[in-house]
Amino acid sequence: MPRLFNFAAGPAMMPEQVLAHARNELLDWNGHGLSVMEMPFTGDVFKEIAATTVSRLSALLGLPPGHRILFMHGGAMAQLALVPLNLASPDTGADYVETGYWSGRAIAEARRYCRVEIAASGEPGGFTHIPPETEWRIRPEAAYCHITTNETANGVQFPATPETGDVPLVADMTSDFLTRPLDVSRYGLLYASAQKNIGPSGLTIVILREDSGGNAHSLTPSVFDYGIQMENDSRYNTPPTFSIYMAGLVFRWIEDQGGLAAMERASEAKSRKLYGLMDSGDFYCCPVAPEARSRVNVCFTLADPALEDAFDTEAAGHGLINLRGHPVFGGFRASLYNAMPEQGVDILAGFMADFARRHG
């Protein structure tokens, strides 16, 4: 069976070279006679593997001094709770910018733990744009201002890092982490679960300022306390060891491709092909404002929804799978994470043009 082009929102495709590399050392890592899966997490060999993953990521990002990288469990959804639990006092709380499905989930979860104020919302426009920064109302006493840099379900992406003054900026970057250069110093904290651009699920990367620990709510589980995990180098309990190793291989692959600037060029090129095709006729439509269109999750609908099943079935016949949109938004979504080859997008674009000719 040839490998398929998986356009799922996640878990996503992995770079083929990374999978092949992992296969080659699956039974015996570097002559140690053990698979990485079998290594004690407190042993020197695993510590070296984890340290390599950290140093590769630090190099890719140009990690500024004073920021730390944590490996955590629980996915991005755990972070929706852990950010307020660790950073916000219940009464002053935090401010959130609402741009779609995932920021909505972040807001709902944070409300269980602290006061939440909406600094701005894209809801009046049906979450098809980013509310202009000039209209944001950020409270100076807010513990942080939370954004979702890329809305995976509704295909809206921040074109640039917003300015929040003295209020630390916190971001859910799960779907666009490492798809473009990133100035980490602008963020108090950012997080991304692995299964979109980093590696296998089970690992969540949290990057935070060193001074963000020590204020966790007293009921925060110890394994989810940023301060405790920083003190223990992400080894307070067994970390997702194999996923950490795989992430290290993906980081090296990104480096080999030319780093984050190359990832940005590729994701610009891939998404432009699909948006260009949609804008050149009225068979497909993308509801998102051009300046806020995601380069990673391209959402679109067919002008005639009766053709949806045929589109899906025929696409699968070309090896193009998992194109259905998020259940809340319907339609279709092509997720173009780093490991999606340009060839996959070319085949998709060719299929879409042909489908439109035949059914338009």
Ligand X SMILES: *Cc1c(COP(=O)(O)O)cnc(C)c1O
Q: How many DSSP H helices and E strands does the chain contain?
A: 9, 14
Pick between residue 53 and residue 150 the one whose CB is nearest to ligand X. 150
Cα separation, 69 vs 57, in Å, equals: 9
Size of the site for ligand X (CB under 6 A): 11
Q: Of residues 95, 102, 225, 253, which has the active-site annotation?
A: 102
Cα separation, 15 vs 20, in Å, equals: 9
Taking every pair of Cα atoms in the chain, the longest distance, rounded to a whole number of angstroms, is 62
Q: Tell me the residue nearest to ligand X as measured from the CB.
A: 75
Half-sphere exposure of 110 (CA within 13 A, CB side): 32
Is 172 marked active-site? yes
Q: Does 197 bind ligand X (CB under 6 A)?
A: no
Q: Does 81 bind ligand X (CB under 6 A)?
A: no
**Residue 11, preceding bond cis, omega within 30 degrees?**
yes
Cα separation, 245 vs 153, in Å, equals: 28
Is 196 marked active-site? yes
Classify the C-alpha dihedral 75-78-84-85 as positive or negative.
negative
Q: Does 76 bind ligand X (CB under 6 A)?
A: yes
Q: Does 75 bind ligand X (CB under 6 A)?
A: yes
Pick between residue 164 and residue 174 the one whose CB is nearest to ligand X. 174
Contact range with ligand X by CB under 6 A, out of 56-64, 73-81, 281-289, 347-355: 73-81
Cα separation, 224 vs 89, in Å, equals: 17
Q: Does 338 bind ligand X (CB under 6 A)?
A: no
Segment 155 to 194, residues that bind ligand X, using CB under 6 A: 172, 174-175, 193
Pick between residue 100 and residue 287 the one whose CB is nearest to ligand X. 100
Q: Of residues 29, 95, 176, 196, which has the active-site annotation?
A: 196
Binding site for ligand X (CB under 6 A): 10, 75-77, 102, 148, 152, 172, 174-175, 193
The catalytic residues are 102, 172, 196
